[in-house]
C-alpha cells in the first residue's frame, strides 16, 4: 500500500471510507483498497444509523460510535449532529457512565492524553507529544468523582472524550482543536487497583501538597504550550474542584463544568420556570438536597442572579439553603465545608423534610447522587405548599436521579415544574402531556466555550454564565413552556449554542475581558466558523 493511501485510510480525520470520489481514488492510489461503489456522506449516515440501531444494548451502541469516531471522524460527527436527540444519551450521559466503569474491558486503542503523577517534572515536555498543535479546548479530569459513580481513576477518560464530542457536535468547535486529558494520581477504588486490566496507577490517590503541585505543573504547561486555550475542569471531587477553580479562575481562561456549567443550566431552568409560576427569581426560596460542588455552585450563581434583581448579598444567600446527609446546614454546626459556609442558615438543625415544612421552598433541587431521595412524602409536601412546585432531580446517571419524571408528576398530581439531569420520557397527566426538561450541561458549556474562544475572552465570569443562562431560557418556545418543558429541544442545540456564544461574547466585551473589540458581524463570523462535517 502506498504511503498516501495508508494515511488517508488510517487517519480518522481524513478517511472517507467508500466516500472517496473516483478522482480521489485515481489520485491517491485507492483503487482496489475499497469496494468500487462510491457512497455519499448522507448514505453513510443512513447505513451507520441502521447498524447502530441493531445493537441490543446502549453500551454496544456506545462502542459502535466510539469505533466510528476512531475510523471516520466526519461521519461520526455528521451522524451525531443529525441525530443528536437519539445519540447524545449514547455518547454521553447516561451511557458514558457505564462505558467508564467498563473502560478496562472495552479499551482497544488509545484516545486522549494521559499524564501520570509519575511524570511530575516532565509535564511540559510531554505535552509536546500531542499531535495537534493548535489546541484551543482542553477538558481535564482526575477521575475521582465521575458523574455519580465515584472514583474511576483513568477509566474516567470517557468523560473528557464525550464532553469534547459534544463541543464539536453542539457548538461547532473543530475537533482538531480539542484535547481530552486524564491526570492519573492513583485511585482509591480497590476493585480497580486489584483488576489486572485497569489501565492506570494501581496505587492509592496522591493527596495534599504533592497533588496540588502536580496539577499546578499541568496548568502552567497548558499556559505555556496552549496560551489561547480554554481549560475545563471536569469531575474532580468537591474539595479539589472548589480549590482549583478558586486558584486558577483569575489566571487563565478556565471554568469547572460541574460547578459553573451545572449552575448555569439550572439557573436557565429557574428563569424558564418563572414563565410558568409567575414568581420572580428573587422572590423564590430554593432548598438543595446535596451540598457538594454542584449544589453550592448553583446556589452561588443563583444568589448572584438574585442580586442583579435587587437583593443584597445577604438577602440572596438567605434564599438558597443546603441540606446534606445530616440535614440542613446551619451556622451552629461544628464544621462546615468552605463552599457551603456562605449558605449556612441561622436556624436550628432539621432534616430535609423538616426544612421543607419550615422554609416552604418554591424549588427543591437534588444534587445528591442518591436515587430516590425525593420520596413520595417529600413530593406531596412540595405540592401542598405551592400550586406549581419546582422539582429538579439533577443527579446523573438515571439510576442516581432523586426521582423520576413520572414520580414527580404522580405525587404532585401533575403540578410539578420538573427538570432532570438525565433524560426521561414524556408523561401523560390529567391536564395533558408533560414533557420533562433535561437540564443537561450540554445546553451551556458548548455555547459558553464557543463564545469565549471566538471572542478571544481572557476569563470566564459569573456575569458571562448568567448571560448564557438567560440566553438559554429565552430560547425555550412558548409551546414548550406550555408543556412544562424548561429547555429547548436538543435538535436546536447548535442554534442555541450560537445564541449563547453571542451573549457570552457581548458580556465579556462589556467587562473588558476581550483581547480586541468584537466585530459588528460577530454572530455571522461565528456561525461561518462552526465546524460542519462534510466531504
- DSSP string of 193-211, one letter each residue: HT-TT--S--SPPP-THHH
- 298, 269 contact by CB (below 8 A): no
State how far the Cα of 79 lies from the Cα of 57, in Å rounded to an integer: 19
State how far the Cα of 26 lies from the Cα of 341, in Å rounded to an integer: 68
Burial of 263 (0-12, 13-18, 19+ CB in 10 A): buried
State how far the Cα of 531 lies from the Cα of 167, in Å rounded to an integer: 10
- 124, 221 contact by CB (below 8 A): yes
> What SS3 state is found at 132?
coil
Measured from the Cβ of residue 342, the count of other Cβ atoms closer than 10 Å reads 16
Looking at 16, 61, 62, 163, which residue is catalytic?
Answer: 163
State how far the Cα of 193 lies from the Cα of 200, in Å rounded to an integer: 8
Burial of 37 (0-12, 13-18, 19+ CB in 10 A): exposed
Element (H, E) at 289: strand 286-289
CA nearest neighbour of 167 among 138, 147, 143, 134:
138
The answer to whether 163 is a known catalytic residue is yes
Buried b (16+ CB within 10 A) or exposed e, 115-131: bbbebeeebeeebeeee
Looking at 62, 92, 198, 271, which residue is catalytic?
Answer: 92
> What is the β-pairing status of strands 137-141 and 178-184?
parallel
Quick one: how far is CA 20 from the chain centroid?
35
242-184-340 Cα angle (round to 5): 15
Helices and strands per DSSP (H, E), number in the chain: 24, 14
| Residues tagged active-site | 92, 163
Amino acid at each position: 500500500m502506498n504511503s498516501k493511501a495508508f494515511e488517508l485510510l488510517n487517519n480518522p480525520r481524513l478517511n472517507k471510507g467508500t466516500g472517496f470520489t473516483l478522482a480521489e481514488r485515481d489520485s491517491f492510489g485507492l483503487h482496489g483498497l475499497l469496494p468500487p461503489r462510491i457512497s455519499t456522506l448522507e448514505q453513510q449516515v443512513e447505513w451507520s444509523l441502521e447498524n447502530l440501531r441493531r445493537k441490543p444494548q446502549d453500551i454496544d451502541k456506545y462502542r459502535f460510535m466510539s469505533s466510528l469516531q476512531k475510523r471516520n471522524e466526519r461521519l461520526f460527527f455528521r451522524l451525531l449532529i443529525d441525530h443528536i436527540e437519539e445519540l447524545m444519551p449514547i455518547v454521553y450521559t447516561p451511557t458514558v457512565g457505564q462505558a467508564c466503569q467498563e473502560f478496562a474491558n472495552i479499551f482497544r486503542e488509545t484516545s486522549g492524553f494521559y499524564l501520570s503523577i509519575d511524570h511530575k517534572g516532565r509535564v511540559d515536555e510531554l505535552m509536546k507529544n500531542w499531535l495537534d498543535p493548535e489546541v484551543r479546548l482542553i477538558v481535564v479530569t482526575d477521575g475521582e468523582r465521575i458523574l455519580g459513580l465515584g472514583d474511576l481513576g483513568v477509566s474516567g477518560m470517557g468523560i473528557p472524550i464525550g464532553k469534547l464530542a459534544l463541543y464539536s457536535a453542539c457548538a461547532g468547535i473543530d475537533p482538531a482543536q480539542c484535547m481530552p486529558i486524564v491526570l492519573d494520581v492513583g485511585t482509591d477504588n480497590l476493585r480497580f487497583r486489584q483488576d489486572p486490566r485497569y489501565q492506570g496507577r494501581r496505587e492509592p490517590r496522591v493527596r495534599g501538597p504533592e497533588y496540588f503541585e502536580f496539577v499546578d505543573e499541568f496548568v502552567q504547561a497548558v499556559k505555556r504550550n496552549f496560551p489561547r486555550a480554554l481549560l475545563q475542569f471536569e469531575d474532580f471531587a468537591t474539595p479539589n474542584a472548589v480549590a482549583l477553580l478558586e486558584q486558577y479562575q483569575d489566571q487563565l481562561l478556565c471554568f469547572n463544568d460541574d460547578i459553573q456549567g451545572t449552575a448555569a443550566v439550572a439557573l436557565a431552568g429557574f428563569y424558564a420556570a418563572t414563565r410558568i409560576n409567575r414568581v420572580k427569581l428573587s422572590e423564590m426560596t430554593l432548598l438543595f438536597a446535596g451540598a457538594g460542588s454542584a449544589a453550592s455552585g448553583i446556589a452561588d450563581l443563583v444568589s448572584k442572579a438574585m442580586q442583579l434583581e435587587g437583593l443584597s448579598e445577604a438577602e440572596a444567600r438567605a434564599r438558597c439553603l443546603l441540606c446534606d446527609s445530616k440535614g440542613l446546614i446551619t451556622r451552629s454546626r461544628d464544621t462546615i465545608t468552605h463552599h457551603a459556609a456562605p449558605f449556612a442558615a441561622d436556624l436550628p438543625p432539621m432534616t430535609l423534610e423538616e426544612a421543607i415544612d419550615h422554609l416552604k421552598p418554591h424549588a427543591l433541587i437534588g444534587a445528591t447522587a442518591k436515587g430516590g431521595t425525593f420520596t413520595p412524602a417529600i413530593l406531596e409536601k412540595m405540592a401542598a405548599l405551592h400550586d406549581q412546585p419546582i422539582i429538579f432531580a439533577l443527579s446523573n446517571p438515571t439510576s442516581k436521579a432523586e426521582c423520576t419524571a413520572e414520580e414527580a408528576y404522580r405525587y404532585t398530581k401533575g403540578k410539578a415544574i420538573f427538570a432532570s439531569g438525565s433524560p426521561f420520557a414524556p408523561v401523560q397527566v390529567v391536564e395533558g402531556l408533560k414533557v420533562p426538561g433535561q437540564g443537561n450541561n450540554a445546553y451551556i458549556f458548548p455555547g459558553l466555550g464557543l463564545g469565549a474562544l471566538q471572542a478571544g475572552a481572557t476569563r470566564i465570569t459569573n456575569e458571562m454564565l448568567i448571560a448564557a443562562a438567560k440566553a438559554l431560557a429565552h430560547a425555550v418556545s412558548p409551546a414548550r413552556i406550555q408543556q412544562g418543558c424548561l429547555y429547548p429541544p436538543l435538535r436546536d442545540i447548535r442554534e442555541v449554542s450560537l445564541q449563547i456564544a453571542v451573549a457570552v461574547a457581548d458580556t465579556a466585551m462589556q467587562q473588558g475581558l476581550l483581547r480586541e473589540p468584537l466585530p459588528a458581524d460577530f454572530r455571522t463570523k461565528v456561525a461561518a466558523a462552526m465546524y460542519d462535517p462534510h466531504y
